[in-house]
Amino acid sequence: MSNVTQNPPLAPSRPQRRRQSPILRGLRPDEQVVLIVRKHWWFLLKPGWPALITLAILVFILAVQARVSPLVRPLFVLIDLVLALVLLILLLRWAYSDLTNWWYDVYILTTKRIIDSVGMIETRRKEISLDRIQQIAVFVPHLWAYILGYGDVVVRTAGASGWVELKGVAHPRDLQDRIRQQEVAYRAGTPPQLRPAELTDPNLARQLDILAEPKQIASPPSPDGPHRSGIPLGPTRRFGGPLRLESRVRYLPGEETVTYIQHHPFLLFRQELPPALLLILLLILIIFFRFSIWPFDVVLLLIAGIWAAYVYFNFIDDLYILTTHRIIDIDRRAFIFFEEAISAEYSKIQDVIVSIPSLIARTFDFGLVRVETAGSLPNLEMIAVPHPFSIQDMIFTRINAQKEREQINAENKQKAQLKLWFSTMISELIKRQVPNLVHRSLAEAMELVNQRELILRIDGERYEPGIPAGQVVEQDPPPGTLLLTRGEVHVTLSRDQPVSP
């Protein structure tokens, strides 16, 4: 059972059809529905457990009833009727309350916004415009949610509206990717830019191209290497040790990995200390005290081994990624297949604070790097990372690089706009230039003049040796002169040589 409905684009010529469903009321004329998302089917099934238990008891009573004495069967029939009535009431209540709430509590992704719609009759809605999204985080709350494939998608903004939380949705990471794709499409969906006019003068066109050549943005060295075609943009680092699991983090267009930051090895040592002590205790009991009960020993060895492996995999899989656009905190938490990721864009970072918590941390050069963000966005803490002051400098370097990138993008956009303006202006000026009409026939001269929205005036005729009659022998003003629309061009035509008397 799927809780995500893919809707085809709706015809803009018939917007009234889109508003027939109460769920879709209030959509704008130029807005289309991309996805309608409901909670995972588990949230529909979970409230029905009283009805399921009642049904199981009813089936059990019916099975027992077939084997009891006929004398007591009337009593079982009465119990059957009562249970059937209770089951009917529970099913009606489930259909009226839980099914209705599940159906009408929806999250709608459109081409312009995300809408959280609650209720059928008294509908309450909260929305976020796609161009105001600052962060999209995925949270899978526990192992059961991972097994069933549901989680929460939190979409945050830096404004007063805060966030929209899409709770208990199926395939949350796929939904995160879809929202991000729609956000990028919406931000890039500006009206199409006019193309610069083609200039007939190659030298002038070449000089204009040189002036408008966009400045290139240098990419920092990346540990990922070149991106392979056909693979989604994201970190190439694998997770799960020998399992080589791919990360579900997806990069934005043009985003690249700058570096991976692992926790300091001292954190691994501190976390591995309890299972190591358990193993040492077991060895002491066996070697020195001859205390050995093989099932007990095996259980303790398994506990210590699983504990140590769990700590190790959590350590190697919990890391921070510095990209060209943001900081990403990947947390595998309680299960190696189970990944959460939150991020902080450099443009939203307010401050980066380093804290050295103890003498041990100072001795081994590790500490806490706290990244404070703007507005309602959550702060990001990089716990027990090596060389924290170097990481602080690296983050500030990336913040400055992000500002420089935004400035370069603005300059390139301005250059493209200026090229459009100047090419259009030059093209229009060229159109206003008086063409060269000499040695052209009257019909050709009139066609050229009409194309430039000018007026042709014939001043007279004269004989010119070697020029056929009817061609232009002189023009005023000369070729290349700029004239306003409906300006006049005076020409003199050639004629045949007069016959001598």
The string of pLDDT tens digits covering residues 50-64 is 888 988 888 888 888
Q: Are strands 106-110 and 326-331 parallel, antiparallel or unpaired?
A: unpaired
Helix residue ranges, H only, 66-171 = 73-93, 100-104, 143-148
Q: Which residue has the tokens 């603005």?
A: 410
Report pLDDT for 499. Answer: 54
> Strand locations in 119-232, DSSP E?
124-129, 133-139, 150-157, 163-170
Domain 442-494 -> CATH class: alpha beta
Q: Which fold has domain 202-221+234-263+318-337+344-410?
A: PH-domain like (2.30.29)
Q: Give CA angle at 330 (226, 302), nearest 5°.
A: 115
Find residue 299's DSSP bridge partners.
none
Handedness of CA 83, 89, 93, 95 (dihedral sign): positive
Residue 168's alpha-carbon distances to 106, 115, 171, 387, 422, in angstroms, are 11, 16, 9, 39, 54
- Rounded distance between C-alpha atoms, residue 361 and residue 200, angstroms: 69
**With contact defined as beta carbons under 8 Å apart, do 493 and 470 qualify?**
yes
Find residue 455's DSSP bridge partners.
488
Report pLDDT for 230. Answer: 62
CB atoms within 10 A of CB 283: 12
Report pLDDT for 7. Answer: 45
Q: 110-142: string of b/e by CB count within 10 Å (b at 16+)? A: bbbbbbbbeeeeeeeeeebebeebbbbbbbbee
Report pLDDT for 390. Answer: 94
How do the domains of the chain map onto residue ranges? Answer: 202-221+234-263+318-337+344-410, 442-494
Cα–Cα nearest to 282, from 263, 271, 296, 270: 296
- Rounded distance between C-alpha atoms, residue 284 and residue 278, angstroms: 10
Cα–Cα nearest to 425, from 206, 208, 203: 208
Fold: same for 202-221+234-263+318-337+344-410 and 442-494: no
Running DSSP on this structure, what letter comes out for residue 500?
P
CB atoms within 10 A of CB 390: 13
**With contact defined as beta carbons under 8 Å apart, do 423 and 197 qualify?**
yes
Report pLDDT for 95. Answer: 84
Handedness of CA 343, 347, 348, 353 (dihedral sign): positive
Find residue 442's DSSP bridge partners.
none
pLDDT tens digit at each of 501 positions of the chain: 345 444 444 444 344 444 446 667 667 777 888 888 889 988 888 888 888 898 888 888 888 877 777 777 778 788 888 888 988 998 888 888 888 888 888 888 888 888 888 876 667 778 888 877 877 878 877 778 878 888 888 887 765 456 788 888 988 888 888 888 888 788 766 554 567 767 767 787 888 888 888 888 777 888 887 776 666 678 888 877 777 777 777 787 778 899 999 999 999 999 999 988 888 888 887 777 666 666 777 788 888 888 888 888 888 888 899 999 889 888 765 555 566 677 888 888 889 999 999 999 999 999 999 998 876 667 889 999 999 999 999 999 999 998 898 888 888 888 888 888 888 887 777 777 888 888 888 888 888 888 888 888 888 888 888 888 888 888 888 887 877 777 888 988 888 776 555
Question: Which amino acid, one-letter code, is at 340?
Answer: E
Report pLDDT for 343. Answer: 81
Report pLDDT for 395. Answer: 94
Report pLDDT for 265. Answer: 94
Report pLDDT for 16. Answer: 42
**Is residue 391 within a helix (H) or strand (E), and if so which, with residue range?**
helix 388-431
Report pLDDT for 1. Answer: 37
